[in-house]
Amino acid sequence: MHPSIKERLGYEQDDDEEELLADWKKRTRELCKPCWELHYCPYGPLVEEFPLLPVLKQEAVKHNQYLANCLETGILGSGEPLDEKRRVWFSEEVDSFDPDKYPEKIPKVLAEAACRVFGHVCPVFFVAEPLTETRERRKHSRTIPREVMLKVVRRDGQICQECNEPVRDDEVEFDHIIPFSKGGRSTVENLRLIHKSCNRKKSASLQDILHESPIEHLWELQDKN
């Protein structure tokens, strides 16, 4: 693991990487981002007090090339002329740039714990204390009570919520909208009826249920209201 990642998360450089990742896998399994369930961040500006994961090497190199191009042409990406103050700043950035200070990749379990809007590591995962939700850590089971199954079947009308086709009794499965592996619970609100075959095509990724651009999604909701 790149040293910059450990530094951002408050670990020592000699801390064992496997133990670090195992710790984060446990946090993300037992805790859930509140914005997934509430559809807004309850922490507000507090999120900005938590660490930002480092920029990837590829992105850092691309940004440095942009700065160098601005210095060479004297023009910013917006088409405006490069003023003297920015010229000095850009020159310092280009001269001191070291691509090896940036990681080639970030472990998936850490990347998914970061806020999709601001990039900061979500306080829930970073702190991961028992008192974040109750006296005991959030515990949930993959087992779905029969009563919950019946309510989901009635609500969805025995129609697959993935392909919108009728579901035979021997094809019924229940899909966690927020994946169980990401902290999603086996409740009526977090389950949907789905074909067995459709369920096999899904992954545990949240990309299928989260809007590509959270800011645009917020604007869309405001327009509807």
Residues 107 and 214 in one domain: no
What angle in degrees, to the nearest 10, is found between the helix axes of 57-73 and 84-96?
140
**26 pLDDT above the threshold of 60:** yes
Residues 221 and 176 in one domain: yes
Residues 46 and 81 in one domain: no
Residue 168 lies in a domain: yes
Residues 225 and 180 in one domain: yes
Model confidence pLDDT, tens digit, residues 132-164: 444 444 455 667 888 888 889 989 999 999 899
**Domain count for the chain:** 3
With a CB cutoff of 8 Å and minimum separation 6, the contacts of 42 are 34, 35
CATH of the domain at 156: 1.10.30
Residues 49 and 62 in one domain: no
Q: What is the pLDDT of residue 142?
A: 67
Residues 23 and 126 in one domain: yes
Stretch among 18-27, 88-97, 134-143 having the lowest mean pLDDT = 134-143
Residues 14 and 117 in one domain: yes
Residues 96 and 111 in one domain: no
Residue 137 lies in a domain: no
* Section 82-98 average pLDDT: 93
Residues 73 and 146 in one domain: no
Q: Which domain holds residue 148?
A: 142-225
Q: What is the pLDDT of residue 143?
A: 79
Model confidence pLDDT, tens digit, residues 185-220: 788 888 999 998 888 876 655 555 555 554 454 455
Torsion angle of C-alpha atoms 79, 85, 91, 96, degrees rounded to 10: -120
Residues 71 and 45 in one domain: no
